Structure 1
Amino acid sequence: MSERTIQLQHPHRLFIGGEWIQPSLSASFDVLDCSTEQVVASVAEAGSGDVARAVQAARKAFDSGPWPRMTVLERAAYLEKLAQRFEAMNDEYARVWSIESGIVYRVAQPRIGVFLSGAFRQYTAMASTFAFTEPCTSATGNAAYRVHEPAGVVVAIIPWNGPAGLMAYKVAPALLAGCTVIIKSSPEAPCSAYLFAQMCEEVGFPPGVVNVLTADRAVSEELVRNPGVDKITFTGSTAAGRRIAAVAADRIARVTLELGGKSPALVLDDYDVEVAAKTIGASFFGYLSGQVCHSLTRVIVPRAKHDAMTEALAEVARNMVLGDPFDAASTAGPLATARQRETVERYVAKGTSEGATLVTGGKRPANKERGFFFEPTVFANVDNRSTIAQEEIFGPVLCVIPADDTAHAVQIANDTIYGLNAAVFTDDSHLAMQVARQIRAGSVGHNASRTDFSVGFGGFKQSGIGREGGPEGLAAFLESKTIIMEAKPC
């Protein structure tokens, strides 16, 4: 099998109610290899009728099926079987990620295991450690219990940039909680969800516990609106998240929203500029070419070190080897879609027109006739109120912003609608903690971007609602119930 081949067992069907069913539409979505622009797969497009069938199947499985009535340890056994299958299919998921989203394959291989088998193993273990029933004493002295029960039918809406890993950190805790799940995959990158459906069929989940379909935005909104859905968990743009929140609010549906970011890297005066530039630049340009919500995209540096930082970052950018994700020499791959590349081009033009200095990059590479490639790009002398400093670009574009002092750097860092991630670069760990506590962000790393779903991930402000990963990620799929007894149960 070629490394550029994606093999799906039932690409023209939908996985609903434990079966691969014929879709209501004859239409399909073509999946492109973002390095070659060639069609590598086609998958069925779900219509309104398919959405209704999926909700009905998930609803039946939750309301009258065995899944939520199993013990948590029984459900954990299914998760362990999935973890084992993820380990066996690690390379397949890594290949699909590289083809659909553009991540360099050798970068994808180790990361995919952390996200996939790692997520399912984490929640398998949590079956024995999470307090699903907590005995208490009421104010009147009665025996009381706080119990945590499954939220119900969950719709998990998966983005195109990291579909497999983000799916895992939604689906694993939802399943352990006892929820039933409808996975709505992105038309641009649906193959990981199809592979997962195949695995669920092999493992033998009860019918309707896991359902998988791919749909456009209009049909996806029908899932959010459907009164049979209790909870929506979404990763994607802040604009789409606002729409989902507004629709869900009509019926007070539960939501977890992991949205956009414009994350700052604060390089303090004591830290080596060259070291910071290599750490920030290599990881930013080399990991999905900046198509990551928590990327450190605003580099805030003392004014006296602005030029040195700019040149150091530009040197990193120029030394990136932009190429085929499967080529061992490549250190950065293409963007995922032509539309995303056009978006990045518009932002680069906007940055230049608003007065920022384009230091390097800013265009399609001349030696790449095919593929959605875009040069690693660095802007200097960026005004933090400018468009490129305030809006999420989702591409390989770094902004260098001068600050007068540490207090000013913190002020700039927080002057955004977002609050997803940040980093503080200093050799003084006490100062790093002090500054980190002043930054309004869901994650703050010391001397690197250090997000960690195993601990917990999510944002402040318009970067989202709720947390994924860790105990909070499980609690997001549970409802808390208080039971107060007249006498203790036997």
Structure 2
Amino acid sequence: MSSLKLISPVDGSVYAERPVMGVDDAAAAVARSRKAQKGWARRPLEERIKLVRAGVARLNEMSDEVVPELAWMMGRPVRYGGEFGGVNERSNYMAEIAQRALAPIEIENSAQFERRIERAPHGVVFVVAPWNYPYMTAINTVVPALIAGNTVVLKHATQTLLVGERMVRAFTEAGLPEDVFINLFLDHPGTEKLISSGSFDFINFTGSVGGGKAIERAAAGTFTGLGLELGGKDPGYVMEDADLDWAVDTLMDGAMFNAGQCCCGIERLYIARPLYDAFVEKAAAWVSSGLKLGNPLDPETTIGPMANVRFAKEVRTQTEEAIAQGARGLIDPKDYPADDGGAYLMPQVLVDVTHDMRVMRDESFGPVVGIMPVDSDEQALALMNDCQFGLTASLWTNDAGRAARIGDEIETGTVFMNRADYLDPALCWTGCKATGRGGSLSEIGFHNLTRPKSYHLRKKSA
């Protein structure tokens, strides 16, 4: 029997291993989930909300285990306390708006007719979650899907193999009925076979562009709804009237937090020429003196290893290619002796970069950022849009009207002004171009996890 092995970036050891579930056994588990869905959907909405909230609360009670477990699995330093802030903010908001988001649209309720549109659950929702924020990205769909009356089947990335197991345990211990929320250990062929057989009614996938294409191919012809959040190469544009220190601090944190492994992390920066030299100087100083690379289990560590050696290799390759093409790295390797050539990767700030370099076009997903000067809003806009991805863009100015005008022209899912690298649960989390399709959270997230169902009830003849 084949198995899934989680190699820890902390020391290269096998941290966890689970047997791959056979397709027949997995299909039987999904069938049980489908059977449980009808009863779950019949429960009052208030009861579903209460049970889902209890599951999140039980997960919070596991923080002493979860936080070091995350460090071992994907390298995030323990000093940041896991992902409970985001998990709780998103879960609470979705629970609070559920009544409104799922309320019927009443067209008529007269002596002669009842006409309304209701939100019906899809049925079985399949969540394929990534490793970089394994709890928060899963919660984005798991919580509203369950509240809306779906059952949920979760499959996590091998790099965070234990997360799905732990989430299901928390919700089950909190009283969620059996088979309403299940976790499967699947390999890629098994996943694709279940999808192609039409086992699910909706699929949410967060991961690579290649993974998204594989999901689409597997679902072709099944008419299964898809939500896809794929790659990103998010830009920041600092205008001449921006608060320089605020911009440097926020954008560099957005580029380096979680070792740069953030869906909406900042990967490329365009700075109005009057601020360019000062911004570059402050950004380099921020990275040189403000981060400590090391073992994520050490409370003093602020940047841990990348989740896998192969991820770090891609970032190193992009950086080396750019330098060979004329870019300059501003961070001295002597500042980061913990860089071991493997998963532990020093952060880097690059200047003299161009869009001929992969580091300014391809997703890096690591602690490297390129900075270019620009001479106009038009030039900045052209560079921000010169990308296959479109998740977020961060604009820095004191002029909200200017930001809105530029934002209207950016091909992206979210426009930020004077902030970056944040997911507001009241707003739809969505993207365009190769970043994917669909949207999670907000009222729209509930709409994507349900289908409209119309009722036209004639009470008596005219």
TM-score (normalizing by structure 2): 0.92
Per the alignment, residue 199 of structure 2 pairs with 228
Gap change, CA 1:306 and 1:119, over 3 Å in 2: closer
Per the alignment, residue 84 of structure 2 pairs with 113
Q: Quick check: 1:313 aligned with 2:283?
A: yes
Q: Quick check: 1:299 aligned with 2:290?
A: no
CA distance in 1, matches of 2:326, 2:339: 29
CA distance in 1, matches of 2:14, 2:277: 44
Q: Quick check: 1:252 aligned with 2:227?
A: no
User: Does the residue aligned with 1:189 lie in a helix, a strand or coil?
Assistant: helix
State the AA in 2 paired with 1:41.
Answer: A
Range 180-189 or range 449-458, more displaced: 449-458
CA distance in 2, matches of 1:395, 1:217: 24
Range 377-386 or range 393-402, more displaced: 377-386
CA distance in 1, matches of 2:125, 2:15: 30
Per the alignment, residue 70 of structure 1 pairs with 43
5+ residue gaps, structure 2, are: none
Contact 1:264 1:413 in 2 (8 A): yes
CA distance in 1, matches of 2:194, 2:86: 26
Range 143-152 or range 435-444, more displaced: 435-444
Residue of 17, 21, 32 corresponding to 2:7: 32
Per the alignment, residue 10 of structure 1 pairs with none
CA distance in 2, matches of 1:164, 1:154: 17
Q: Quick check: 1:473 aligned with 2:448?
A: no
Per the alignment, residue 11 of structure 1 pairs with none
State the AA in 1 paired with 2:18.
Answer: V
Per the alignment, residue 290 of structure 1 pairs with 260
Range 30-39 or range 328-337, more displaced: 30-39
Q: Quick check: 1:409 aligned with 2:384?
A: no
State the AA in 2 paired with 1:464.
Answer: G
Per the alignment, residue 277 of structure 1 pairs with 248
CA distance in 1, matches of 2:34, 2:367: 42
State the AA in 2 paired with 1:181.
Answer: V
Range 457-466 or range 198-207, more displaced: 198-207
Mapping for residues 57-456 of structure 1, pairs under 5 Å: 57-62=32-37, 65-109=38-82, 112-137=83-108, 142-285=113-256, 287-319=257-289, 320-360=291-331, 366-369=337-340, 372-449=343-420, 451-455=422-426, 456=428
Aligned length: 457
State the AA in 2 paired with 1:143.
Answer: E
Please state how far the C-alpha of 1:364 moved relative to its aligned partner: 11
Please state how far the C-alpha of 1:361 moved relative to its aligned partner: 5.8
5+ residue gaps, structure 1, are: 1-25
CA distance in 2, matches of 1:475, 1:90: 31
Per-residue CA deviations over 1:217-262 (Å, capped at 9, x if unaligned) read 2222223212121111011112211221233232221011111111
Per-residue CA deviations over 1:50-85 (Å, capped at 9, x if unaligned) read 3322322222223xx411222212211211211221
Gap change, CA 1:368 and 1:423, over 3 Å in 2: closer
Percentage identity across paired residues of the two chains: 27
Contact 2:264 2:421 in 1 (8 A): no
Contact 2:313 2:342 in 1 (8 A): no
Per-residue CA deviations over 1:346-377 (Å, capped at 9, x if unaligned) read 22222233333333368995445597110101
State the AA in 2 paired with 1:388.
Answer: V
CA distance in 2, matches of 1:148, 1:274: 47
> Greater RCO between the two (CA within 8 Å, min separation 6)?
2
State the AA in 2 paired with 1:152.
Answer: G
User: Does the residue aligned with 1:132 lie in a helix, a strand or coil?
Assistant: coil
CA distance in 2, matches of 1:90, 1:194: 15
State the AA in 2 paired with 1:169.
Answer: N
Per the alignment, residue 31 of structure 2 pairs with 56
Contact 2:293 2:339 in 1 (8 A): no
Gap change, CA 1:371 and 1:85, over 3 Å in 2: farther
CA distance in 2, matches of 1:114, 1:145: 38
Contact 1:364 1:374 in 2 (8 A): no
Please state how far the C-alpha of 1:175 moved relative to its aligned partner: 0.5
